[in-house]
């Protein structure tokens, strides 16, 4: 089957993302899926630079720059304002990095999700605070080097389980997506657009600069993150109760994902084997959630 992406380009070609920037590729697909009736809220992150200094812009839709910690509450306020003006068509999307989502903005996000604000919140995950020079976030994977987890003290803590946290908020739609699977990404954003309430999409977005990776390997790394079970593609519906996991891929070794990335260069074969075991445990945990999923007819509309 040949897949064609939507034709409408909302990201201009002259943006200032680095070569191979997964965050830039992912917003391109995202806005192609959402269309022009979209308002984007951007807290401090790489994307608050990539979109260009006012009055220049790399997006053909309105952008609202906000503080690092306030993406979700700003989006909720804008949505309320649009509704007061009678505009029920425009979707408001918060577009935040992992630092602005997993760490700094989690309080505003949790508040908005608990109130089930009618917003789409997208976290593009490049697994560190990249805009300020590659500092560790709670999304940085175990084993990784960053400037605040130098080789002698590489990151020992696992990545925060953000999808579980969002599922605990009983919101109508949660998904993960990847720049390596644009068709799946576009379908998930289209689905999210059609739903009312808080929707959360977590997009895996490789960062060649911060991962010490050749830019041309960006998409291939995103694909291998899925096929080596590091970043499962999931959808969580029924107000956080029903998990669906994509399993239709040929598994690839974790070391094939780790080896091309300079941020993992210090790891020994034993450490890589141990990380692989940890990844397998996480994968089994996600599958167990799928097996435990329940559907209660009508619950999602209450
Ligand atoms: C309250 C506050 N603390 C720190 C900063 C500095 N700051 C700006 S962007 C950024 C990193 C953002 O990381 P992330 O959200 O992961 O996005 P990325 O840069 O990786 O795209 C930091 C620490 C800030 N602007 N505001
Ligand atoms: S530092 Fe990373 S996320 Fe930021 S623009 Fe460059 S490639 Fe993209
Ligand atoms: Mg980041």
Q: 160 C-alpha vs ligand 3 centroid, how far in Å?
A: 13
Mean pLDDT (the chain) is 95
- Going through 189-255 in order, the beta strands assigned E by DSSP cover 199-204, 234-237, 242-245
Evaluated on CA atoms 162, 168, 171, 176, the torsion sign reads positive
Residue 50 CB less than 6 A away from ligand 2: yes
- pLDDT per residue over 146-166, tens digit each? 999 999 999 999 999 999 999
- Ligand 2 atom with least separation from CA of 50: 5
CA separation for the pair 259, 277 (Å, rounded) = 17
CB 184 within 8 Å of CB 222: no
Candidate from 209-213, 237-241, 295-299 with smallest mean pLDDT: 295-299
| Residues with C-beta atoms within 5 A of ion ligand 3 | 97-98, 126, 130
Q: What is the pTM assigned to this prediction?
A: 0.96
Report CA-CA distances (Å) from 226 to 42, 94, 246, 251, 298: 27, 24, 9, 9, 32
Q: 69 C-alpha vs ligand 1 centroid, how far in Å?
A: 9
- Site residues for ligand 1, CB cut-off 6 Å: 23, 44-47, 68-69, 97-100, 126, 129-132, 137
- Give residue 302's pLDDT band: very low, low, confident or very high (50, 70, 90): very low
298 pLDDT higher than 90 = no
Q: First and final CA of the chain: distance in angstroms?
A: 38
Cβ atoms within 10 Å, residue 273 = 13
Residue 206 CB less than 6 A away from ligand 2: no
Distant-in-sequence, close-in-space partners of 258: CB < 8 Å, separation ≥ 6: 143, 264, 267, 272, 275
Closest ligand to Cα 131: 1
CA separation for the pair 92, 75 (Å, rounded) = 6
Q: 245 C-alpha vs ligand 1 centroid, how far in Å?
A: 31
Half-sphere exposure of 64 (CA within 13 A, CB side): 19
- pLDDT per residue over 183-208, tens digit each? 999 999 999 999 999 999 999 999 99
Q: 39 C-alpha vs ligand 3 centroid, how far in Å?
A: 21
- pLDDT per residue over 263-293, tens digit each? 999 999 999 999 999 999 999 999 999 998 7
Closest ligand to Cα 48: 1
- pLDDT per residue over 35-69, tens digit each? 999 999 999 999 999 998 889 999 999 999 999 99
**Mean pLDDT, to the nearest integer, of 163-190?**
97
CA separation for the pair 224, 228 (Å, rounded) = 6
**Mean pLDDT, to the nearest integer, of 115-128?**
98
Q: 67 C-alpha vs ligand 1 centroid, how far in Å?
A: 9
- pLDDT per residue over 217-259, tens digit each? 999 999 999 999 999 999 999 999 999 999 999 999 999 999 9
User: What stretch of H or E contains 97?
Assistant: strand 91-97
- Give residue 2's pLDDT band: very low, low, confident or very high (50, 70, 90): low
């Amino acid at each position: 089957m040949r897949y064609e992406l939507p034709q409408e380009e909302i990201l201009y070609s002259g943006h200032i993302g680095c070569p191979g920037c997964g965050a830039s590729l992912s917003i391109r697909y995202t806005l192609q899926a959402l269309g022009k009736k979209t308002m984007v809220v951007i807290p401090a992150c790489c994307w608050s630079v990539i979109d260009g200094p006012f009055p220049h812009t790399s997006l053909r839709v309105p952008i609202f720059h906000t503080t690092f910690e306030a993406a979700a509450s700003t989006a909720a306020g804008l949505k309320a304002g649009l509704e007061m003006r009678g505009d029920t068509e425009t979707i408001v999307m918060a577009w935040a990095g992992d630092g602005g989502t997993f760490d700094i903005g989690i309080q505003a996000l949790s508040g908005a999700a608990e109130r089930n604000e009618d917003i789409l919140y997208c976290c593009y995950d490049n697994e560190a605070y990249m805009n300020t020079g590659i500092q560790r976030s709670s999304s940085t994977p175990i084993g990784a080097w960053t400037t605040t987890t130098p080789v002698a003290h590489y990151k020992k803590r696992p990545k925060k389980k953000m999808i579980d946290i969002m599922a605990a908020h009983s919101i109508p739609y949660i998904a993960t997506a990847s720049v390596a699977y644009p068709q799946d990404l576009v379908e998930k954003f289209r689905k999210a657009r059609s739903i009312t309430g808080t929707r959360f999409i977590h997009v895996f977005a490789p960062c060649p600069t911060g991962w010490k990776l050749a830019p041309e390997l960006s998409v291939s790394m995103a694909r291998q993150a899925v096929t080596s079970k590091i970043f499962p593609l999931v959808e969580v519906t029924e107000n956080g109760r029903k998990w669906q996991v994509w399993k239709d891929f040929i598994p690839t070794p974790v070391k094939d994902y780790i080896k091309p990335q300079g941020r993992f260069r210090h790891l020994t074969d034993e450490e890589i084997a141990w990380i692989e075991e940890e990844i397998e445990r996480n994968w089994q945990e996600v599958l167990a959630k799928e097996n435990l999923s329940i559907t209660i007819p009508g619950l999602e509309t209450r």
